[in-house]
Structure 1
């Protein structure tokens, strides 16, 4: 990468990177770093108390940097991690609030109207999608299709599935409550858009027969059968004549038929209620409306037949303008923040028009295409891909148009433990590994398959080279961690467990190991273990947590226990001890044992 026309980034920064790696992973003193963190935290609190935004922000950044060093040294436990994050998040939030107060006092001098509300983080507000200010409504006498497309920044993969499921259930409930009949309801989506289509939606609500219970009959009518003031008032309040009142079970009832309203008059509230009802594991608020959604909402398409269903939510007005996929934006060579748009002519034409943009809307279709392309790519190098439904589902919801790209890496990295290589591919990069076919030993081949977000790739070699560079760097890091970890026996890591806090009232991870060393043999004796098995239990208890402070597990926590087994074997421990270290974490999830 060119730096200044003369030097590369490697020439300028490589030595710095090497030295910082040595410091972060080998030299940095945990106790001193903890002291620095506490000092930075105290200084940030002092600055916040005085309303000093800039220095407070600076000290929170220093805390974050110190946290990263502690993390690299394997000195951050799970409980501590949550506490560190909570501390820094709390301070960062208070600093942000101080900054807003500071700018408000100065009446936002950088804005055209200094006193107006600042929309934080909504960069695209400068180039909003233009919709017609008035949507002329023509009531249709026939059933039509309802289309709702909620367009946003990329949703997390899990939220695509969650959003589809919620919309399927909640929209059905809202339409039923609104007395709007329909033939079918289908919801699907991609990372950029959640889409509901309601076929054969009635043009009007069903008429409703409403029955209201009134006063007792003996109070509503006198002895001669004439209506009293109670009957007259009840009838007037219900909008019926007193002659239409019915008497049942010694009570007066008003029965009337409420005529259904046109669908286009009812749907704006239905769709607004739908958006208000959606719940997400984590939400974002991106402008002054303070509406919460999984990611910032950027556009809404709402059509009933050819008519726009007009409503506004989260500062976004509904219309018929949708956005193209990211790869269309890239192909158009738009400036930063630019995006392509296209108009939806009608709800029935939507599927054809979104398909013309290259978007594969249906999840099942994307999933099947990925599976077919991955298998084809693996077969092209004489390999196969292990079945992994979770990875397949996740990748399905990361792209709008999947295209598989086969890449390779140097065979020397196959000397690393296979779980490390697979973890890097799956957990970090969402790559599909390639293994030997089932009739051979299931070992990795020096290939991987990535899924690009594009309906077709003009330059697949560029995508391949970019991903190969990424995984090469990942594997180089893993090789470095492995060399560092195997340079000493597993038991040499045990004392460093004292730097990991399990819980403030339960002590360190080393304290926990000491408790396990006392407890495990007692349980083994109760189970009638032999002396040989008892020795295995005692040794495994002493080493079972030692891999938590190794460089590899600090970097890839999902490998805890797995690396413990590998490092135990490398250290000359018995196979039984190594196996026990791995298995003491089981089951990690349903079906894991």
Structure 2
């Protein structure tokens, strides 16, 4: 058993790509070893801004031997009329480095069975450059010199060591060896690694902590100690901690300060300046009031740390001075002033300006508020919010700190006299901003965010500006995911199809239609519902795929909450002892109705047997369009109650009765029940065997 070290030395990788690149390297190395039948005990991972590395422990000396069987041509082709081997047979043998004497005959074909000996690990590892490193994929690429290879950043050195022996391979003009590089200004290049196991210690001596987990824990302990020494409450943002971990190789934390006068600027602005712009951790007092201090991390040791502190303070103060100036200037104006300027902001050249977008959002919000039975007070706040919610885009603060859009709308709305409901709604308009981002906490804010995202989808879909592959420049997938997350969180019931029909009627009443035209709401609703279903499948990837497939089929109205409700109902009963039998009974009805569709009404006078009369009594009062509005347990209980009556029905009755009237009536009954079952989805998708 041996140990193998692979290190890819690079120019500095963007912080957000380091961890995902390292994870990809691990997975590709695992796949490479598995495909080459090379056994190992474990893989250790290492990453810094300038390197991605793996250390494979307990690597087998040779790959495993294997037996392979290859099927050749049919006997009709492999032998001539006299039973002699043809050229086709001989060519097959040569291609497998065998002879016709090695053939076996079976099932009308010739076969060759071969024993393939294992290869030395050393020989296999010489291909790791082409089979692993060069095949890695990134969201961001760079080219350098005149090379065609694109990579996350230019490759500057490669280390490839099997114990103490170099396993050579070459990528462009870089040949793998046993030389690494330490910290870019605390050490030097050309540091020799005597053997694979000494990697961590060699780099530690060169002021590089190669283990990202160890580096993160060290940063965490350092910043916590500084905060404890000053009796500060430290706020560690895990995303920021991850980013800082990936921009340093040898961390040293330090504290800095700024003038208390800047505390007059809203906390959100100060925190954004510190956390997002400068990658500082902010601190508060015991009452959670922001303090004029920060904690940061240097990529280096503690030498001349005072100069580092002063430099960071100077950079931060410049940002805070700008923020203070913009804040004071913006407060001299009004919402109407900023809204007037917003008329010149383009939403999209094919769709119109921001004001048109806001007017459409107002219409959508009003329609949704009616469907969701908002109170008059809520509607008033919602309409006010929709009328002004993008005003902050023209403020000086958002012009400088674009990441504060929405946040500043809420802050300025309060300053300019809007009530708390409106102010909060404006601050929540973009939520959620990511797949796991925070959701709006207020109902008005949630509906404003929902209406805004709906208009983004409606307007871009009608303009035929759609995502293509991984390309989604206008964030339509993010908007759709935001909608399904809000609806699932709020349990709001409304029909996408009906919303589009109502919106078309409103827009058709205007000569300009607010710059969009819905030609066919049915087609558009189908496109959007399919788009939403993809996001729902993504959102509920924690549930068995067959259950999600069942719940996301047979969707017409696009009532998003009902789809989530279906998933919850099915997922919560899979462990029931009679789940399989219940689904099989319901599926039998759906399958038969699919083969024999009918819109006819059931004639009770033509019901003959006790079982079909009993089943009719159980289902005749149920209304499919109301069923899913009931409680989840009540819904499933009703379907589970049908299991035995359905089985009795099929046991006692022939659907294809010789009497045409009886047959048509039974088919109508089966379709009636299938229509009810369809409210749970296409249960034929569920795997129960």
- Which residue of 2 is the match for residue 403 of structure 1? 252
How far apart in 2 are the matches of 1:311 and 1:194? Answer: 17
1:477 aligns with 2:326: no
Measured in 2, the distance between the counterparts of 1:272 and 1:311 equals 9
Q: Is the 1:171–1:274 Cα contact (8 Å) retained in structure 2?
A: yes
1:550 deviation in Å? 0.6
Q: Distance in 2 between matches of 1:515 and 1:283?
A: 39
Q: CA separation in 2, counterparts of 1:516 and 1:215?
A: 67
- State how 1:344-363 maps to structure 2 within 5 Å: 344-363=193-212
Q: 1:162 aligns with which of 11, 20, 33?
A: 20
Residues 1:242 and 1:529: Cα distance change in structure 2 (over 3 Å) = closer
Superposition TM-score, scaled by structure 2 size:
0.60
Tell me the CA shift for residue 522 of structure 1: 5.0
Q: Does 1:498 align with 2:315?
A: no
Specify the alignment match of 1:377 in structure 2. Answer: 226
Stretches of structure 2 that go unaligned for 5 or more consecutive residues are: 440-689
Distance 2:362 2:71 in 1: 74
* Contact persistence 1:325–1:359 (CA under 8 A): yes
SS in structure 2 opposite 1:452?
A: strand
Size of the alignment, in residue pairs?
438
Per-residue deviation, 1:228? 6.6
Question: CA deviation digits over 1:275-327, x for unaligned, max 9?
Answer: 12100101000122221111111111111121112111132111111111123
CA distance in 2, matches of 1:545, 1:194: 43
Report 1:237-252 matches (<5 A).
Answer: 237-252=95-110
**3-state SS of 1:255 partner:** strand
Closer/same/farther in 2, CA of residues 587 and 227 from structure 1, 3 Å limit: closer
Task: Measure, in 2, the Cα distance between the counterparts of 1:528 and 1:557.
Answer: 35
Supply the RMSD in Å over aligned alpha carbons: 2.3
Q: 1:444 maps to which residue?
A: 290
8 A Cα contact 1:268 1:309, kept in partner: yes
The residue that corresponds to 1:69 in the other structure is: none
Instruction: Report the 3-state secondary structure (helix = DSSP H, G, I; strand = E; otherwise coil) of the residue aligned with 1:252.
Output: strand
Give, in angstroms, the shift of residue 270 of structure 1: 2.5
Deviation at 1:237, TM superposition (A): 4.5
How much has 1:467 moved relative to structure 2?
Answer: 0.6
Structure 2: distance between partners of 1:350 and 1:244: 49
Q: Is this contact kept in 1: 2:129–2:170, CA < 8 A?
A: no
Partner of 1:9: none
* Distance (whole Å) between structure 2 residues aligned to residue 216 and residue 522 of structure 1: 69
1:135-174 equivalences in 2 (<5 Å): 143-174=1-32
**Distance apart, 1:233 and its partner CA:** 5.4
Q: Which residue of 2 aligns with 1:457?
A: 302
Corresponding residue for residue 295 of structure 1 = 153
Distance 1:556 1:233, change over 3 A: closer
Q: Work out whether residues 204 and 210 of structure 2, in 8 Å CA contact, stay in contact via their aligned partners in 1.
A: yes
User: Hey, what's the Cα distance between the residues in 1 that align with 2:358 and 2:17?
Assistant: 39
Question: TM-score normalised to the size of structure 1?
Answer: 0.70
- Indicate the residue corresponding to 1:214 in structure 2: 72
**Cα deviations by residue, 1:194-247 (Å, 9 ceiling, x for unpaired):** 001112222333333232223445775789987676655544543334443323
User: Displacement, 1:432?
Assistant: 0.3
Q: Which moved more, 1:284-293 or 1:524-533?
A: 524-533
Further displaced range: 276-285 or 553-562: 553-562
Alignment correspondent of 2:409: 564
Rounded Cα–Cα distance in structure 2 between residues aligned with 1:236 and 1:382: 80
Output aligned runs, 1:203-352, within 5 Å: 203-217=61-75, 234-329=92-187, 340-352=189-201
Q: Residues 234 and 364 (structure 1 numbering): CA distance in 2 closer, same or farther, change over 3 Å?
A: closer
User: For the residues of structure 2 that align with 1:223 and 1:283, how far apart are their CA atoms?
Assistant: 61
Distance 1:506 1:491 in 2: 23
Q: Which ranges of structure 1 fall in alignment gaps of 5 or more residues?
A: 1-142, 330-338
Deviations 1:143-178 (A, max 9, x none): 321111101111111211111111111111112222
Q: Using CA pairs under 8 Å that are at least 6 residues apart, name the structure with larger relative contact order, 1 or 2.
A: 1
Tell me the distance in 1 between the aligned counterparts of 2:370 and 2:56.
Answer: 65
1:15-164 aligned within 5 A: 143-164=1-22
